[in-house]
Amino acid sequence: MKKVLKSFPPIVDKRSRILILGTMPGPMALKKQEYYGFSGNHFWKIIFQLFEVRKTLTYSEKKRLLKEKGIALWDVFQSCERIGALDSAIQCAEFNDIPWLLKKYPNIRAIYLNSRTAEKVFRQRFAPFVKVPFYYLPSTSPAYAALSFAKKLRAWSVIPC
């Protein structure tokens, strides 16, 4: 039986200059109540490489790092039904109010979409209402094994540091 899953509030503040949008946290992230909480996801490893973080951080420290670097984090989906972790299994989705977030935090000047699903949903649902440029980035999910970590890191290095 599918369960209704709910995403997290955005990590954002007035210093945010870019917004990274994923789709919906996976089962481990939801259990831990942490964005990208599954250890196999490359998101935090990529962020640590981009910002030369050499030590282990708590989740609170990770959120603080993002804010200090001007990065906001959210998902395109507010809730959905899904069995497992794959985006392709998402059904009955409700969307976060991305235009509202951008209006509330006008310093956000670019959006980066973490996966083809996030990009597709964003283009269909939000692009007509958003004046901020947006860019696709390869998924940090371990399910996207077509690219090595090194290639994902290279692609993600377009994020301004």
Which residues are designated catalytic? 41
For 97: left if phi > 0, alpha if psi spans -120 to 50, otherwise beta; the answer is beta
Alpha carbons 59 and 113: distance in angstroms, whole number: 22
- Contact assessment for residue 116 and residue 27, using Cβ atoms and an 8 Å cutoff: no
Alpha carbons 115 and 140: distance in angstroms, whole number: 8
Give the residue from 147, 156, 141, 150 showing the smallest Cα distance to 42. 141
Q: Is 114 helix (H, G, I), strand (E, B) or coil?
A: strand
To 10 degrees, the CA torsion angle through 130, 137, 77, 14? -60
